[in-house]
Amino acid sequence: MKKINVVLYVLLSLNYLVFSDYIIEDFTTSPDPWGSAKWDIETSLNGLSASNPYLLVDAIGLAPKRGVILRTNDSSWTGNYISRGITGIAFDVRNMSEQDSLRLRVAIGDTQNPMSGTWFVSSNFANIQPSSNWSSVFLPINENDLSKASSAMSNGSPGPQNFNQVMSNVFALRIISQGASGNAICEDYIGDTLIDNIQLIPEPNTVGLTVLAGLILIMIKNQKSVLT
């Protein structure tokens, strides 16, 4: 076997092992694991394209549908973010509310919800205006862009873990609308929010591995074309 073929085989094998952890949720079949029994899949002209399913978050500002919050503790979306090279979360969103802006943040924690344990939440939010069209949002997940959240319990204190400890053992992942910093729970919101194509994003050098493997494959094909 030629050396270039060996290199290609190794790169593609590494690429498979790395990317096998990364998933995307486009809601073609089920709202799980993001539905939390409150939100529904819809297919209508409001989607990214005709008949394209999305997750409808029909928040009404009152319990139990209080504000915009998507959460999961599914093992495909949690675990050791450091070893998986996770750097952020991306998704498409549309704000159908006529009065409330979406102020989107990502939150990670080592417990089921921010009433206990240690949580980190985006220091800054992505602002989506009312009655807007679809937008693509990227929320970084790193120590510079996340800050420790206060406990959701009255008079509670932030958890004891540091950022790397939580990143290496994420139990729950949340996407929330919240204007206040250091807060991993959602704020009141009235209206519908549409969500599609949620994806955890790997570090750039992982993506570069795929590009390099593809370039080598093209080189091999071109070399064969010249020889024939």
The CATH number of the domain where 191 resides is what?
2.60.120.260
Helix, strand or coil for residue 6?
helix
What residues contact 114, with CB distance under 8 A and at least 6 apart? Answer: 107, 149, 151, 152, 184, 185
The reported pTM is 0.79
How many domains, the chain?
Answer: 1
Whole-number Å distance between alpha carbons of 114 and 93: 24
Average pLDDT taken over every residue of the chain: 82
Specify the residue for token string 């969500």.
195
User: Given the structure tokens 């979360």, which residue do they identify?
Assistant: 89
In a domain, 162, yes or no: yes
215 in a structural domain: no
Range of the domain at 102: 23-203
From residue 113, alpha-carbon distances to 14, 54, 151, 156 in Å are: 35, 25, 9, 13
What pLDDT shows up at residue 60?
82
Segments of the chain scoring below 70 in pLDDT: 1-22, 35-38, 64, 152-156, 204-228
**pLDDT tens-digit map of 43-75:** 888 999 888 999 999 888 777 677 898 999 999
Task: Give the per-residue pLDDT at 219.
Answer: 55
Q: What is the pLDDT of residue 10?
A: 47
Q: Is 45 helix (H, G, I), strand (E, B) or coil?
A: coil
Are 177 and 129 spatial neighbours (Cβ–Cβ below 8 Å)?
no
**Three-state secondary structure call for residue 158:** coil
115 lies in some domain: yes
* DSSP state, residue 79: B
What is the predicted pLDDT for the residue at 136? 97
Amino acid at position 157, single letter:
S
Residue 221 forms part of a structural domain: no
pLDDT score recorded for residue 221:
53
Model pLDDT, residue 58? 87
Assigned domain for 114 exists: yes
